Amino acid sequence: MDIIILTVRQSGNRKGPAADLVQLYIERTSHFHPCKWLQVRSVDEVWAQREKPASHLILLDPRGEMRTSEGLAETIGKLRDSGKRTLLFAIGPADGWSAADRDRAGALLSLGKMTLPHELAAAVLSEQIYRACTILAGHPYHCGH
């Protein structure tokens, strides 16, 4: 199962320490699943990714469910075992997802009650995806923190 982190951003690049963190965790996650980060310019491009066969899309949204790291690992494990081929996580535009986007997505996930800037949210998400992979693999990373 491929894992793709999508961030919707009209402008700006992916430089700076938060972007470096995302790259670092994506590299580590790649030991478990092919993983990449795509920065897209519009929500339509998120839905275009969703067209991939056997894909599942999770939108990051404050209305979503807050999960523990173990809970997110369980979700990822179930999707993998159900035969999904691509798991997409998408961080929305600055003004958030529309109600229609939220209805259309497979699931909503919240990282917490605090508002995070775009790339810091991507850093936290990418770390949690890596952590989930280590939990599923019985790798000691999660126990060390």
Instruction: Give the interface with a copy of itself as residue ranges (CB under 8 A).
Output: 17-18, 20-21, 24, 66-69, 71-72, 94, 111-118, 120, 123-124, 127-128, 131, 142, 144-145
Q: Which residue has the tokens 């938060």?
A: 18
At its nearest, how many Å lie between a copy of itself and the CB of residue 14? 12
Return the axis-axis angle of helices 118-137 and 17-29, rounded to nearest 10°. 20
**86 vs 128, beta carbon nearer a copy of itself:** 128
At its nearest, how many Å lie between a copy of itself and the CB of residue 85? 26
- The two beta strands, 2-8 and 55-66, are unpaired
At its nearest, how many Å lie between a copy of itself and the CB of residue 95? 10
**18 vs 52, beta carbon nearer a copy of itself:** 18
Distances (CA, A) of 91 to 17, 30, 134: 18, 20, 23
At its nearest, how many Å lie between a copy of itself and the CB of residue 76? 13
Distances (CA, A) of 35 to 5, 29, 75: 8, 6, 17
**38 vs 120, beta carbon nearer a copy of itself:** 120
Q: At CA 72, angle to CA 35 and CA 132, rounded to 5?
A: 50
Q: Which residue has the tokens 């478990």?
A: 32
